Amino acid sequence: MKSLTEKKVEAVELFTKVFSGSYIKMAPGDADFKIFSSDGSLIAYAEVIDANRRIRDRDHLFIPLERYTKVCMKMLNPIVIWMCDDGILYGKAKEMYGTIRWSKTRKTPLLHFSPRQDGVKYIRA
């Protein structure tokens, strides 16, 4: 069974493969990855969330509020990637809308909870 870190790396590799980009894993406590264009320019920061479901089963998307805030504070094109069993969902954090909700079952107390939106795209693995 793959570790969470290995799954996150697979998700960001799938994302960057679309535009022949690259990535660097960031330090613990920071956003998950720096994303680079094919020419090596820094173009975004990404936070990767384990969705634990298939793409078609993700009607609502959530991200722990502290992780959403962390990637948004980077200001340069913050991206959220949800890794699913059959690919990834991704979108620009600045374009997402939703509500803040208390979590009953998660380790984190607050979640940014949003419906699936037009700006959220998918890539099948």
User: Percentage of residues in the chain with pLDDT exceeding 90?
Assistant: 75
Check residue 106 and give its pLDDT: 64
Check residue 82 and give its pLDDT: 96
Average pLDDT of the chain to the nearest whole number: 93
Which CATH number belongs to the domain containing residue 40 in this structure? 3.40.1350.10
- Per the structure, the complete domain to which residue 25 belongs is given by 4-124
Give the CA distances from residue 77 to residues 34, 43, 45, 80, 94, in Å, rounded to whole numbers and listed in that order.
10, 7, 6, 10, 8
| Residue 118 clears pLDDT 90, i.e. is over it | no
Handedness of CA 10, 15, 19, 22 (dihedral sign): negative
Task: Report phi then psi at 20, rounded to 5.
Answer: 55, 35
Domain count, the chain: 1
Question: Does residue 123 contact residue 100 with C-beta atoms inside 8 Å?
Answer: no
Burial of 26 (0-12, 13-18, 19+ CB in 10 A): middle
Band of residue 69 on the pLDDT scale cut at 50, 70, 90: very high
Higher pLDDT, 32 or 118: 32
DSSP assignment string, 91-109:
EEGGG---EEEE-SSSSSS
Band of residue 73 on the pLDDT scale cut at 50, 70, 90: very high
- pLDDT digits over 90-108, tens only? 999 999 999 999 988 767 8
| Residue 114 clears pLDDT 80, i.e. is over it | yes
